[in-house]
Amino acid sequence: MNELRKSFHSDLDDAKKELVALAASVTEAIPRATAVLLEGDLEGADFIIRGDDEIDARSLDIEEHCYRILALQAPVASDLRQVVALLKMVAEVERSNDLLCNICKAARRIYGHELDPKLRGIISRMGEQAQQLYDAAIESFIENDAAKAAAIDDMDSYLDGLQKQFVQAIFESHAAGRIDLQVAVQLAVVARFYERIGDHAVNIGERVNFVVTGWLPEHKGAQRYRARMDITGEIPRDGMADLAGDPS
Amino acid sequence: MHADGPLTESTELRMDQLTTESAAAPAADTAAVFTTQGLEVYYGDFRAVRDVDLTIRQHEITAFIGPSGCGKTTVLRCFNRMNDLIDTARVKGSIRYHGVDLYDPQVNAVEVRRRIGMVFQKPNPFPKSIYDNVAYGPRLAGIKKRTELDAVVERSLHGAALWDEVKGRLKASGLSLSGGQQQRLCIARAIAVEPEVILMDEPCSALDPIATARIEDLMQEIKQQYTIVIVTHNMQQAARVSDRTAFFTTEVNPESDRRTGRMVEFGRTSKMFSKPDDERTEQYVTGRFG
Q: Confirm if B81 and B63 have CB atoms less than 8 A apart.
A: no
Q: Which of B138, B110, B237, B117 is nearest to B186 (CA)?
A: B117
**Min CA distance, A80 vs chain B (Å)?**
7
DSSP H or E segment with residue B285: helix B279-285
A77 and B282: CB-CB below 8 Å?
Answer: yes
pLDDT, residue B4, reads 52
Distance CA A234, CA A214 (A): 29
Confidence band for A248, pLDDT divided at 50, 70 and 90: very low
Assess contact for B6 and B97: CB atoms under 8 A. Answer: no
Q: Over 70: is that where the pLDDT of B18 sits?
A: no
Residue B39 contacts residue B53 (beta carbons within 8 Å)? yes
Which residues in chain B are closer than 8 Å to A75, comparing Cβ atoms?
A: 286
pLDDT of residue A242: 41
Whether B54 is in a domain gets the answer yes
Cα B288 to Cα B86: distance, rounded to the nearest angstrom: 35
pLDDT, one tens digit per residue, over B135-144 is 999 999 899 9
Distance CA A85, CA A93 (A): 12
Strand order of the β-sheet with B227-231 is B100-101, B89-97, B32-43, B46-57, B258-268, B244-253, B61-65, B227-231, B197-201, B116-119
Q: Indicate if the pLDDT at residue A193 is higher than 60.
A: yes
Which residue has better confidence, B258 or B150?
Answer: B150
Residue B7, pLDDT score: 60
- List, in sequence order, every residue forming a beta bridge with B55; answer none if it has no partner: B35
Provide the sign of the torsion angle of the four alpha carbons B83, B84, B89, B91, taken in this order.
positive
Q: Which of A243-247, B161-165, B230-234, B275-279 has the lowest mean pLDDT?
A: A243-247
Residue A54 CB neighbours (<10 A): 12
Res. A244: pLDDT tops 70: no
Crossing angle between the packed helical segments A6-39 and A77-109, to the nearest 10 degrees:
20
- Which residues are bridge partners to B39 per DSSP? B52
Share of chain A above pLDDT 70, in %: 93
B81-95 pLDDT, tens digit per residue, is 998 888 899 999 999
Phi-psi region at B142: left, alpha or beta (left = phi > 0; alpha = psi -120 to 50) = left
Dist CA A239 CA A119 (whole Å):
39
Is B105 an interface residue toward A (CB < 8 Å)?
no
User: Does the beta carbon of B282 lie under 8 angstroms from any beta carbon of chain A?
Assistant: yes
Name which of A76, A78, A81 to mutate to probe chain B: the one with the most chain B Cβ atoms within 10 A of its Cβ.
Answer: A76
Give per-residue pLDDT as tens, A53-89: 999 999 999 999 999 999 999 999 999 999 999 999 9
Residue A218's pLDDT band (cuts 50, 70, 90): confident
CA-based nearest distance B229→chain A, Å: 22
pLDDT at A2: 63
Distance CA B135, CA B148 (A): 10
Task: Give pLDDT, residue A234.
Answer: 63
CA nearest B191: which of B218, B226, B220? B226
A57 in reach of chain B (CB within 8 A): no
Q: Is residue B3 part of a domain?
A: no
Is B288 an 8 Å CB contact of chain A? yes
Answer whether B274 sits within 8 Å of A214, measured CB to CB. yes
B290: closest chain A residue by CA = A2
Q: What is the pLDDT of residue A235?
A: 56
Q: ipTM of the predicted structure? A: 0.70
* Closest CA–CA distance from residue A21 to any residue of chain B (Å): 25
Which tops the pLDDT comparison, B18 or B33? B33
Of A164 and A245, the structure prediction assigns the larger pLDDT to A164
B290: nearest CB among A2, A79, A214: A2
> How far is it, in rounded angstroms, from Cα A202 to Cα B267?
32
Interface-testing mutation among B249, B286, B289, with chain A (most A C-beta atoms within 10 A): B286
User: Is A2 at the interface with chain B, CB within 8 A?
Assistant: yes
Interface check A211 vs B, CB under 8 A: no
b/e B17-27 (16+ beta carbons within 10 angstroms → b):
ebeeebeeeee
- CA-CA distance, A72 to A79, in Å (whole number)? 13
Question: With bands split at pLDDT 50, 70 and 90, how would you rate the model's confidence at B8?
Answer: low
For the stretch B94-131, pLDDT in tens is: 999 999 999 998 999 889 999 999 999 999 999 999 99
Of A2, A78, A214, which is closest to B286 when you measure between CB atoms? A78
Phi-psi label, residue A196: left if phi above 0, alpha if psi -120 to 50, beta otherwise:
alpha
Encoded amino acid at A246, one letter? D
B255 within a domain of the structure (yes/no): yes
Dihedral Cα A191, A195, A197, A203, nearest 10 deg: -170
The pLDDT of residue A102 is above 90: yes
> Is residue B168 one of the residues assigned to a domain?
no
Question: Does the structure show a pLDDT above 80 at A3?
Answer: no
Instruction: For residue B264, give how far its alpha carbon lies from the nearest alpha carbon of chain A (Å).
Output: 16
Cα dist from A244 to A180, A225, A238, B224, whole Å: 35, 9, 11, 41
> Does A80 reach chain B within 8 Å, measured CB to CB?
yes
Q: Is the per-residue pLDDT at B16 higher than 50?
A: no
Which positions ≥6 away from A170 have C-beta within 8 Å? A119, A179, A184, A187, A188, A191
B212 occurs within a structural domain: yes
**Looking at the partner chain, which of A8, A74, A214 has a beta carbon nearest the beta carbon of B275?**
A214
Q: Yes or no: say if B64 and B118 are a contact pair by the CB < 8 Å rule.
A: no
Confirm if A76 and B270 have CB atoms less than 8 A apart: no
Which residue does chain A place closest to B237, by CA atoms?
A: A74
**Residue B171 falls inside a structural domain:** no
Q: Can you tell me the distance from the alpha carbon of B198 to that of B214, in angstroms, rounded to the nearest whole number? A: 17
In this complex, is the C-beta atom of A75 within 8 Å of any C-beta atom belonging to chain B? yes
Q: Over 80: is that where the pLDDT of B261 sits?
A: yes
SS3 A12: helix
Q: Phi and psi (nearest 5°) for B38?
A: 55, 35
Is A127 near chain B, with CB under 8 Å?
no
Residue B281 sits in a domain of what CATH number? Answer: 3.40.50.300
The mean pLDDT of A184-197, rounded to a whole number, is 96
Instruction: Tell me what the mean pLDDT of segment A93-106 comes to.
Output: 98
More confident of the two residues B205 and A107: A107
Single-letter residue type at A49: I
* Cβ proximity of B255 and B44 under 8 Å: no
Q: How many other CB atoms are found less than 10 A from the CB of residue B144?
A: 8
pLDDT above 50 for A202: yes
The pairing of strands B32-43 and B197-201 is unpaired
The answer to whether position B152 is within a domain reads: no
B26 has pLDDT over 60: no
Our measurement of the distance from residue B183's CA atom to the centroid of its chain's CA atoms, rounded to an integer in Å, reads 14
For residue range B34-63, what is the model confidence (pLDDT) as tens digits? 999 999 999 998 999 999 999 999 999 999
Residues forming beta bridges with residue B259, ordered by sequence position? B252
Q: How far is B24 from chain A (nearest CA, A)?
A: 21
**Angstrom distance (rounded) from CA B120 to CA B183:** 8
Any CB–CB contact under 8 A between A7 and chain B? no
Q: Is A5 on the interface with B (CB under 8 A)?
A: yes
pTM listed for this prediction:
0.79
| Residue B179, in any domain of the structure | no
Residue B20, pLDDT score: 33
Q: Which helix (H) or strand (E) covers residue B195, if one does?
A: none
Based on the structure, what is the number of domains in chain B? 1
Task: Compare CB distances from B287 to A5, A213, A214 and report the shortest one's residue.
Answer: A5
Give percent above pLDDT 70 in chain B: 90
Give the confidence band of B6 by pLDDT, cuts at 50, 70, 90: low
Residue-range definition of the domain harbouring residue B109: 30-122+198-285
